[in-house]
Structure 1
Amino acid sequence: MSTNLQENVTLEEYFELDLASDEKLEYWNGNVWSMSGASPAHNLIVINTGAEVRAQVIDKGCLVFPSDMRIKVPSYPPYRYPDLTALCARPEFERIGGVDVLLNPALIVEVLSRSSEAFDRGDKFSYYQSIPTFQEYLLIAQHRPYMSRYWKQEKGLWLVNEFTDLSDMIRFNSVPCELTLAAIHRAVDFERDAEKPIVRPQPF
């Protein structure tokens, strides 16, 4: 979930705000957005997925980073905060705005919300594709068992498959890992924990 905090902010002002803030703040076209306020389901899914992936790859020379790891997105500067990132290579960093920003993620994971799903599937995915090392993209629903998995083919083409059953097994290409939707959604109560839809008053 994101909330627009300030408008008409310079990049230098944003760097100062982000460094001083306890929240994760993102910048685009003069606007500063807070990336806080996730639902219980969102947080459980991020923790479950990160723990499962890390347990399988940590002894194989791979790394998993949580949502406070900034990544550089060349076509969507200066940097972004994905829910999870992973790679099986030596991590490379660039100092941007006084902080270390990861340059070479292979796997990016985002947990969908009703407010962000269209952007995560559309423009954000397109922006992420400007990262040369980016190979695999997971989009996980929080209100039902569901995941889209995109993976990069030769000549820059991307394929996608979808998983909708808790018993479905997902095998990753970018890191040596496989896990079920049940593991990803462990302890999630879809009715209780997921982001609630926005109810707008109807005109008479």
Structure 2
Amino acid sequence: MATAALNRYTPEEYLALERHAEFRSEYIDGRIIAMTGGSITHNYIVGNIYAGLLARFAARPCHVFFADVKVRFGWGTNYTYPDVMALCGRPARGDEHADVLTNPALIVEVLSRSTQAYDRGEKFERYKAIETLREYVLIAQDEVLVEHFEREGDFWRCTAITDLNAVIDFQSVACSFPIREIYRRTDFVVEDVLEAPE
């Protein structure tokens, strides 16, 4: 996450600017914050989760979103771009535009050195205010580590998974996901990368 501008904006001003911007920014407490780019590994992990959930949802009334869909959440009106969001049932849109979601059940963030403290701390605290949110998943890209937070009443239980052969259960969207599939094509899973034909 890059340095925020000192100016303050209303949510309406942010949305108007963002919908015409060349680069994506998030909106936290009146500040517009430019987003940094992701790595190749980050891209693989996000793509693997999105594609895997999309395939699992093919015959079910469930939805998965990434990249250009914002979530609106707690402590006022804040907007961020989670790496992946999912839910079963009808998506609740934030307004007449089709670019804001307000009812995710599952949010996944892929960690980077510049954002991991924020993703684990302030951002997670803010996400907890989303009433529909049942699971929050943090995925490291420099080691095999998946932190799975599940809401249990007013508390969140965390399970850390470091075994590439383990399976994570996304209870909120009723599906399982092998950790190996999450890390497909990364440095941790090299045997499934096809070589280009000669």
Asked if these proteins are the same fold (TM beyond 0.5), I'd say yes
**Structure-2 residue corresponding to 1:167:** 165
C-alpha distance after superposition, 1:142-167 (max 9, x if no partner): 111110001111x3211110111211
Matches within 5 A, 1:15-164: 15-75=15-75, 77-95=77-95, 100-153=99-152, 155-164=153-162
Cα distance in 2 between the residues matched to 1:65 and 1:99: 11
- Using the TM superposition, give the Cα deviation of residue 5 of structure 1 relative to its aligned residue in structure 2, in angstroms: 5.4
Check whether the contact 1:56–1:176 (CA below 8 A) recurs between aligned residues.
no
Q: What is the CA RMSD across the aligned residues, in angstroms?
A: 1.8
| Residue 200 (structure 1) aligns with | none
**Contact 1:76 1:127 (C-alpha < 8 Å) held by counterparts:** no
For the residue of structure 2 that corresponds to 1:32, the secondary structure is strand
- The C-alpha deviation readout for 1:40-69, integer Å capped at 9, x for no partner, is 111110000111112112312110011211
Q: TM-score, normalised by structure 2?
A: 0.87
Residue deviations 1:123-149, cap 9 Å, x none?
111111111100001100011111000
Give the Cα–Cα distance (whole angstroms) in 1 for the partners of residues 60 and 29 of structure 2. Answer: 40
**CA deviation vs aligned residue, 1:173-194 (integer Å, no higher than 9, x gap):** 111211122111111126xxxx
* Structure 2 SS opposite 1:46: helix
Between Structure 1 and Structure 2, which shows a larger proportion of helix residues? 1
So what's the TM-score if we normalise by structure 1? 0.85
* Gap runs ≥5 in structure 1: 191-204
The number of aligned residues is 187
**1:169–1:178 Cα contact (<8 Å) kept:** yes
SS at match of 1:51: helix
Residue 4 of structure 1: SS of its match in structure 2? Answer: coil
Q: Distance in 2 between matches of 1:29 and 1:131?
A: 16
